Amino acid sequence: MNSQYNELRFGGSKHLDSGVVCTSCHDPHRGQAPSLRQQGNALCLQCHAGKLTGPQHGDEVLKAANCTSCHMQNGRHVFAMGGKT
C-alpha cells in the first residue's frame, strides 16, 4: 500500500469514502508524472464548482491561489481543512 493511499484512507479525507479514487484525478495513460487529468484548479472544480463556501474561496483568492496550496500542503493527499496539517 502506498503513502498516497494511506493519506486518502486515514488522513481524514472524505474523498475515498465518497468514491473518489486515484484515477478520478490521475490518468495513468497520460505521460509526465503526476499526470493529472486537468491542470490547476480545473482539476478540483470538475467536482467542486459552485459548491464552495466562505471568503477563502472568493473569486479573487482563487485567481491568486491554487486549491492545492491550501489543501495539499507539501503535495500530500490529505486534503486537510483550514489550519489542520
- Please give the residue ranges that form the binding site for ligand HEC (CB under 6 A): 2, 4-5, 8, 12-15, 18, 20, 22, 24-26, 33-34, 36, 41, 43-48, 52-54, 56-57, 61-62, 65, 67-72, 75, 77, 79, 81-82
Taking the least distance from each CB to ligand HEC, the nearer of 30 and 56 is 56
The answer to whether 77 and 11 have CB atoms below 8 angstroms apart is yes
Handedness of CA 16, 71, 69, 84 (dihedral sign): negative
Cβ of residue 31: shortest distance to ligand HEC, in angstroms?
14
Burial zone of 11 (CB within 10 Å; 0-12 exposed, 13-18 middle, 19+ buried): middle
